[in-house]
Every structure is written in C-alpha cells, then in structure tokens.
Structure 1
Amino acid sequence: MYDIRRLVLLRDLAEHVTMTAVSELHGITTSAVSQQLRILEEEVGAVLTRREGRVLRLTHAGRVLVDHTSRIIAALEEAESAVAATGEAVTGVLTVATFRTALDSLALPAAARLRAEYPSLRIRLVGMMPVDSVPAVRQQDVDLAVTYSYSFRARDLPLGLSSEFLFNDPLVVLAPPALRERVGRQGLAAVRDADWIAAPDGAPSIASVVFACREAGFAPRIEHRSASFAAMAEMVEHDLGVTIVPEMSVADRHRHLIAATVTDGNRQVGVTYRQASQERPAVAAAIRALRTVSGPERIAS
C-alpha cells in the first residue's frame, strides 16, 4: 500500500513544479522530498518524474498516480466528515481564511456566532487574499476561506473545491467634494481627465479601475498607488484624485466620498471549501454562520 504522505508530495510537485517549492510548502528539506519520492518510485515500481532542465516533469505513470491521489485524499476526507457527522457535538479546530475587508463585517461576526453556539469548537482566523487562500483550502492548510471574484472576471476553482455565493459587494467611485456631484450626474465620464488612484500592478482590484474606465470610453491616468483601500480613500480625502473600490472597504469616516456606483460592477463575495469536507459538522456550521451574518439585504443587492 502506498504511503499517503509521499503521494501528497508527488501531487504538490505536479502543481508547484520544483523541489524547492514543495520543500517550503511542507517545511522539510529538498533532499528529504527527493528521498521520499525515490522511495515512492520503489513502492510503485515505475519512474514517476523526469528532469527537464531545472524542473521535474511527471511521467505518464506519475500523472496517473497524481490523478488517483486527488481522489484518495478526497475519499479520506469524506470518510472523516461522515464519521464526524455521526457525533452530536461540533468540536475540534476550524481554520478560516479571510481577506482584509471581510474580517470585521463577516469573519469576526461569524466566528463570534460559532463560539457562542458551539463552545467546544475552536476557531482560527487567518488573513489571506483569495489568490493564496484558495490554494490553502485545496492543500488542507485551512478548512474554508472567505473569498471574492470580480463580476467581469471569470474564476475557475481547482478540482475538488466548491464556492457558495454570499452577496454582491458593489464597486463605488470615490471622489473629492469638488468632483462628487459631477460624477453623480455624468458618471465616470466626468473624471476622465482626473488623476486616478489604484492598487499596484497585478493586484485584483486594479482591473476594476481599468475595466470600468474602459467601459466609459477612456484609459485612467494612474498617478498614485496603494495596496490599501483605506489609504486610497485617504488620498481621495486629500484631493489627490479619484478611485474605484468595493463598497465594503469604505469606512464610515469616508462614506461621504462615495459619488456613484459602477454600473454592473461588483465584487462577488463567497465561501470556498473542499467538497469532501462539506458534511463535516464544523464546516457546515461555519457556512451557515457566514450565510446568516451576510444578511438577506446583502444577498439581494
């Protein structure tokens, strides 16, 4: 019988390509990874990897084994979930990843609700952007994640994961007082010549600025950059330019800067989890809690 830990190393090598990446993922040395894979090849009786330049590629036998490994891991987790579901109490440790702007309004209220309802359940919150939290769910580093995707950008989940929609977080235009009324009347066309504030290149939110402006018929002149929505709002407050951010990220002290909503623009907030874990009582309870604190008024928006 094959060792499940070695199968996981092979699966992770298939995804991350290099021994270094796998060793960092598991907190062991590259030589230890190499040794475990050699032992796995002896167990299987077939060559599983082949070096191409500086990376390892899976052979046909290796790919077949990885495909089966994903199903094996899912089956084991389904068994754990089914056994856990036979118990009357919701116990254990539940690790939830959440992005920054969902912490106060979503993750913390859900955690408080779970702690009050299930005193024996320990909740761990981890701050992560979806680009990191979705792989973390798949790798079983976290149990589920509060995630988002922008309405104009399709997202495909890795095999074995599911995502449940919670609510739409509208995209809004923040503008200083001198421009706010014009934006309200004319839309984004009113600020086509303004200085713009956006996230650094590569951040998911910058696409919302570029896409919305392109739909309005112009390319934004981005003069200021920040990775923080709060800092971007402060820049607008100090008359440095305009920006587009998710409404949920706008603090009460900055809500007077909201000039308009972006037509058909929103950030779709959801919860992502492994399909094999959805019957686990703690995971099911967390999804219910997130659904409850999201509120019907959000879901309808």
Structure 2
Amino acid sequence: MYDIRRLILLRDLAEHTTMTAVSELHGITTSAVSQQLRILEDEVGAALTRREGRVLRLTHAGRVLVDHTVRIIAALEEAESAVAATDAAVTGVLTVATFRTALSQLALPAAARLRAEYPGLRVRLVNMVPVDSVQAVRQQDVDLAVTYSYSFRTQDLPLGLASESLLSDPLVLLAPPPLRDRVRQHGLSVVRDADWIAARDGAPSIVSVVFACREAGFAPRIEHRGGSFAAMAEMVDHGLGVTVVPEMSVDDRHRHLVASPVPGGFRHIGVTYRQASLDRPAVAAAIGALRTVAGPERLAS
C-alpha cells in the first residue's frame, strides 16, 4: 500500500513543479523530498516525473496517481467528518484564515458567536491573503478561509474545494473633496488626468484600478503605491491623487473621500472550505456563523 505522505508530496510537486517549492511547503529539505519520491517510484514500479528545464512534470503514471491521491485525501477527510458527526457536540479546534479587512467585520464577530454558543470549541484565527489561504485550506493547514474574488476576474478553485458567497463589497472611487464633488456630478471620466494611487505590482487589488479606468475609457497614470487600503486612503486624504478600493476597507476617518461606486466593480467575499469537511460539526457551525454575521443582504451561493 502506498504511503499517503509520499502521495501528498507528489500531489504538491504536480502543482508547484519544483523540489524546492515542495520542501518549503512542508518544511523539509529538498533531498528528503527527492528521497521520498524515489521510494514512491520504487513502490509504484514506474517513473512518476520527468524533468523539463528547471521544473518537473508528471508522467502519465504520475498524473494517474495524483488524480487518485486527491480522491483518497477527500475520502479520508470524509471519514473523519463522518466520525465527528456521530457526536452532536461542536468541540475541538477550528482554524480559520481571513484577510485583513474581513478580520474585524466578519471573522472576529463569527468567532465570538462560536465561542459563546459552543464553549467546547477553540477557534483560531490566522491573518492570510486569499492566494495563500486557499492553498492552506487545500493543504489542511486551516479548516476554512474567508476569501474574496473580484467580479471581473474568474476564480478556479483546486479540486476538492468549494466556496460559498457571503456578501458583495462594492468598489468605490476615493478622491479629495474638490474632485469628489465633480465625480459625483460627471462620473469617473473627470479623473482621467488625475494622479492615481494603487497597490504594488502583482497585488490583486491593483487590477481594480485598471478595471475602473478602462470602463471609464482611459488608462490610469499611477504615481504612488500603497501597501494597504488604509495607506492608499491616507494618500488621497493628503491630496496626492485618487484611487479605487473596496467599500468595506474605508474606515470612518476616510468616508468623506468616497466619490462614487465603480460600475460593475465588486469584491465578492465568501468562505472557502474542503467539500469533504462539511459533515464536521465545527466546520458547519463556522459557516453558519459567518452567514449570520454577513447579514440579510448576503448573496446566495
């Protein structure tokens, strides 16, 4: 019988393509990863990988084994969930990943509800951006994650994961008061020649600035970079330019900067989990708590 730990290493190699990436993911040396995969090949009796330049690709035998590994891991978690479901009590440890904006408005209130309703449940919160938290759910490092995706970008979840929508967070333009009033009257085209503030290159939110400007018929002239939505709003408040941020990220100090919503621009916030974990009482209770906190305006999934 194949060793499940070796199968997981092969699955992760299929996704990350290098021994170094897999070793960093699991906190072991690259030589240890290589050794375990060689043992797995000996057990299987066939080559599982082939080198293409600096990356490793799976052979046909490797792909077949990874496909089965995904189902095996899901079946094991389904078994754990089924056993946990035989005990109606919601107990144990539940780890929830959440991004910064959702921490105070969704994750913390949900955690408080869970602690009050289920004294035997320990809830742990981890601050993590969705690109990392989705993988953490997949790797079983966390039980579920509060995540987001933008309305103008498709999101493909790894096999075995599912996501339920909680609410839609509109994108809004922030502008200094003189510009703000003109935008409210004439629309985003007013800021065509303004200096723009955006996140660093590669950050998911930078696409929201490009999207808003493209929809208004121009390309932004990005002059300033902010490391957070709060920093970007502070730059706007000091007259350095304009920006687009999710409405949920705008605190009370910067509400006066909101000029207008971005037509068609939303950040959809949801909860991502492993499908096989849904029968686990703690996971089901956490999803329910997040639904409640999201309120009556939450979206159907």
Q: Where do 1:186-197 residues align within 5 Å?
A: 186-197=186-197
Aligned to 2:177: 177
Report how far residue 298 of structure 1 moved: 5.0
Q: Which amino acid aligns with 1:198?
A: A
Q: Match for residue 280 of structure 2?
A: 280
1:59 match? 59
Distance (whole Å) between structure 1 residues aligned to residue 183 and residue 118 of structure 2: 48
Establish whether residue 144 from structure 1 lines up as the match of residue 144 from structure 2. Answer: yes
After superposition, the C-alpha distances for 1:190-226 in whole angstroms (9 at most, x for unaligned) are: 1111111111111111111111111111111111111
1:110-129 matched pairs, under 5 angstroms: 110-129=110-129
- 8 A contact 2:161–2:273 mirrored in 1: yes
Kindly state the Cα deviation for residue 23 of structure 1 after the two structures are TM-superposed. Answer: 1.0
The reply to whether residue 41 of structure 1 matches residue 41 of structure 2 is yes
Partner of 1:233: 233
2:90 alignment partner, SS class? coil
What's the % identity of the aligned pairs? 84
The equivalent of 1:259 in structure 2 is 259
Q: Structure 2 CA distance, aligned partners of 1:68 and 1:97? A: 27
How much does 1:57 deviate?
2.1
Find the aligned partners of 1:264 and 1:188 in 2 and give their Cα distance: 13
Equivalent position amino acid for 1:149 in 2: S
Task: State the 1:299 CA deviation.
Answer: 4.3
TM-score of the pair, normalised by structure 1: 0.97
Using the alignment, how far apart are the partners of 1:35 and 1:194 within structure 2? Answer: 57
Instruction: Spell out, residue by residue over 1:141-199, the C-alpha distance to the aligned partner (whole angstroms, 9 max, x if none).
Output: 11111011111111111111100000010111111111111111111011111111111
2:2 counterpart of 1:2: yes
Deviations 1:44-75 (A, max 9, x none): 22221223333322211111111100000000
Other-structure match for 2:103: 103
How far apart in 1 are the matches of 2:165 and 2:89?
27
* Aligned-residue offset at 1:81: 0.5
1:198 aligns with 2:193: no
Q: Which moved more, 1:49-58 or 1:113-122?
A: 49-58
2:254 and 2:135 mapped to 1: Cα distance?
33
Aligned-residue offset at 1:297: 3.4
Q: Secondary structure at the match of 2:202?
A: coil
RMSD: 1.2
1:78 is matched by which residue type in structure 2? E
* Partner-residue secondary structure (3-state), 1:201: coil
Number of residues paired by the alignment?
A: 300
* CA gap 1:55/1:152 in 2 versus in 1, 3 angstroms: closer
User: Could you report, residue by residue, the CA deviation over 1:55-108 in whole angstroms, capped at 9, with x for unpaired residues?
Assistant: 322211111111100000000001110110110211111111111110000010
Q: Which moved more, 1:221-230 or 1:34-43?
A: 34-43
In structure 2, the gaps of 5 or more residues are none
User: Does structure 1 retain, via aligned residues, the 8 Å contact 2:48–2:58?
Assistant: yes
Aligned to 1:132: 132
Q: 1:19 is matched with which residue?
A: 19
SS of 1:214's equivalent in the other structure is helix
Could you tell me which residue of structure 2 aligns to residue 156 of structure 1?
156
Q: Using the alignment, how far apart are the partners of 2:266 and 2:112 within structure 1?
A: 27
* In 2, Cα distance between equivalents of 1:220 and 1:110: 38
Structure 1 spans left out of the alignment, 5+ residues: none
Report the AA paired with residue 269 of structure 2. V
Q: TM-score, normalised by structure 2?
A: 0.97
Whole-angstrom CA distance in 2 between matches of 1:50 and 1:220: 44
Distance 1:40 1:16, change over 3 A: same
CA contact (8 A) 2:7 2:66 kept: yes
Q: Using the TM superposition, give the Cα deviation of residue 270 of structure 1 relative to its aligned residue in structure 2, in angstroms.
A: 0.4
String of CA shifts for 1:17-57, please: whole Å, max 9, x gaps. 11111111111111111111121122222221223333322
